[in-house]
Structure 1
Amino acid sequence: PVPDRRLEELARIVNPEKIIPTAIEFVDIAGLVKGASEGEGLGNKFLSYIREVDAIIHVVRCFKDENVSHTYPDIEPVRDVEVVNLELILADLESLEKRIDKAQRMAKSGEKKYITEYELLGRVKEELVKGISIRNMEFSDEERIIIGELFLLSAKPVIYAANIDEADLGKDMEGLSAVKKLWQYASKEKSEVMVVSAKIEEEIIQLDPGERELFMKELGIPLSGMDRLIKACYKLLGLISFLTIKPPEVRAWTIKEGTRAPEAAGKIHTDFQKGFICVEVIDYNTLVDIG
């Protein structure tokens, strides 16, 4: 569920039988290994899972623990990230080769849109060969539409989750060399790094709400890592929530930022969109002030 304190406040006012938050789905995919694009590890199965998601949260190991196995003998987050990014790039190059051949044939017709696509794909291929992910390339709005239709893997936006030791929570970046290296790498591609401790998150999930709040307060954590990741994903994907109050429930709905009212109504029921006439909206803060 997507954390939204507005639901709790509205529930206090209208006292509904149910509070229904909106949700964002996370797919846990086993780590990708070097050579995946050639069938190593989960190989194409892993890549097919990645193809179906809207964004990637890359959990990167930034802690030392001999009891927790790792592919390599040392902890190098940038190397681990580059292994995954390279495999996504290699998979994209394979996909592009087929598309370029088709675009080249179509471009011979002389039609402008096919010529544009052929030239664009050639430019993208050149950048991929240099090891540049598609998400880090510059495109016009028209070009971005063409690229979006190809569902290429390295085009997907990414958040790097730096998984640190529980003892390192609260330390600044200067005291966490692995996290600092990851942040420096991510800043070059304008991606976000979020610091989390999977060990602490596991403990938080197992507690009931009252104990959870106390535990997090003792650790100085205002929001759990999961809640922070959800909020970051919402922002990354350009998502927002709107709320409805209809006895017996208060409910949140997810839409893309900039969605028009008829399409938002369609999220509730398709008939609302088909027969849309008008909508009555009240600002959340105004409603709370009125009580």
Structure 2
Amino acid sequence: MELIRFFDDPNITHVDAVVEPRKDIEIINIELVLADAEQVKKRRDKLVGDMKSGDKKAVAEDAALAKLEQAFSQGKFALHAGLANEEKKMVTYLNLLTMKPILYALNKKSGGHNLDELADDRAERTYELIKELDGRYIFLDAATERGLNDVADDDRADFRAELGVSEDGLAGLIRGAYEILGLISFFTTGTDETRAWTIKKGSTAPVAGAAIHNDFLTKFIRVEVVSTNDLLAAGSWAAARESAKLRTEGKDYMVKDGDVIVFLHG
């Protein structure tokens, strides 16, 4: 995640005097590319001896690294280097910074001159760049969220209202992170506990069940499912069943974000 200033305030200086978030993103990304390029170069240097001795794995890895170097020379991320899946696996251990999708948190200021509310085009140019980078962005008021650390949960909505902040910034941050990582959550619930489980988007019910226990995958029979909104509206599991909001699904069911699920297994 990159936290990017997204407001004007003459009392808070900027290194370039003018707040230009697109430029800030470009500078940060260049630094990330340079860091990855240095790591890739060091690895290629180490592979020279292995390649001379005829190590086929070293030759294949070097070919993948060469693609990365070519991308870096053009200012591109490793994510956009055009590596095949097998090549990506070869270089996973390097943990390259630019191989990861980036979430851009555009930092607004309560009561400030936020760029999405101004007449100039700085906001639009920022959105365009993020789209070109296949990134995602969310809005965040970091100062407000920091101040909320000392506020009781029950009072936070009132605190935000006083500041004119309608959204829960941290909740938006979590949603944005889930989206860019391709994750969703489903819930299990009982008399004593309701718990959220994180899975990859597109997971079938048995695969989702494996997040809880492997038996839910290997001994899967079926699931009972209701959406969170429908369950809350019904008031109880029994009421959801009576109102036909609860349904039974099999092994091919693709779990949706916010599903509440009971797994039946052997």
TM-score by length of 1: 0.66
- Whether the 8 Å contact between 1:174 and 1:180 is mirrored in structure 2 is no
% identity of equivalent residues: 30
Please tell me whether Structure 1 or Structure 2 has the larger radius of gyration of its CA atoms.
2
Q: What's the CA shift for 1:63? A: 1.7
Matched, 1:235 2:179: yes
- Whether the 8 Å contact between 2:115 and 2:123 is mirrored in structure 1 is no
Q: Distance in 2 between matches of 1:260 and 1:107?
A: 43
Indicate how the Cα distance of structure 1 residues 264 and 123 shifts in structure 2: closer, same or farther if over 3 A, else same: same
- Which residue of the partner structure matches residue 281 of structure 1? 223
SS of 1:81's equivalent in the other structure is helix
SS of 1:180's equivalent in the other structure is helix
The aligned amino acid for 1:240 is I
Matched, 1:82 2:26: yes
Q: Distance in 1 between matches of 2:115 and 2:31?
A: 33
Q: What's the CA shift for 1:76? A: 2.1
- Unaligned segments of structure 1, at least 5 residues: 1-56
Indicate how the Cα distance of structure 1 residues 243 and 90 shifts in structure 2: closer, same or farther if over 3 A, else same: same
Q: What's the CA shift for 1:59? A: 0.8
- Whether the 8 Å contact between 2:9 and 2:112 is mirrored in structure 1 is no
Matched, 1:290 2:232: no
Matches within 5 A, 1:198-209: 198-202=142-146, 207-209=151-153
Residue range with higher mean Cα deviation, 194-203 or 207-216: 207-216
- Unaligned segments of structure 2, at least 5 residues: 232-239, 243-266
Q: Distance in 1 between matches of 2:159 and 2:200?
A: 34
Q: What root-mean-square deviation, in Å, do the aligned CA atoms of Structure 1 and Structure 2 show? A: 3.3
Matches within 5 A, 1:143-158: 143-158=87-102
- Which residue of the partner structure matches residue 99 of structure 1? 43
More strand by share: 2
- Whether the 8 Å contact between 2:104 and 2:135 is mirrored in structure 1 is yes
Matched, 1:129 2:73: yes
- Which residue of the partner structure matches residue 135 of structure 2? 191
Q: Distance in 2 between matches of 1:210 and 1:155?
A: 40
Matched, 1:226 2:152: no
Matched, 1:71 2:15: yes
Q: Distance in 2 between matches of 1:114 and 1:125?
A: 16
- Which residue of the partner structure matches residue 160 of structure 1? 104
Matches within 5 A, 1:257-276: 257-258=201-202, 264-265=208-209, 267-268=211-212, 272-273=214-215, 276=218
- Whether the 8 Å contact between 1:173 and 1:180 is mirrored in structure 2 is no
Q: What's the CA shift for 1:84? A: 1.8
The aligned amino acid for 2:241 is I
Q: Distance in 2 between matches of 1:253 and 1:182?
A: 34
Q: What's the CA shift for 1:120? A: 1.7
- Whether the 8 Å contact between 1:261 and 1:279 is mirrored in structure 2 is no
Q: What's the CA shift for 1:102? A: 3.1
Q: What's the CA shift for 1:168? A: 5.7
Q: Distance in 2 between matches of 1:101 and 1:260?
A: 44
SS of 2:50's equivalent in the other structure is helix
Q: What's the CA shift for 1:175? A: 3.2
The aligned amino acid for 1:283 is V
Q: Distance in 2 between matches of 1:254 and 1:168?
A: 36
Residue range with higher mean Cα deviation, 153-162 or 100-109: 100-109
Greater length-normalized contact order (CA 8 Å, ≥ 6 residues apart):
1
- Whether the 8 Å contact between 2:135 and 2:180 is mirrored in structure 1 is no
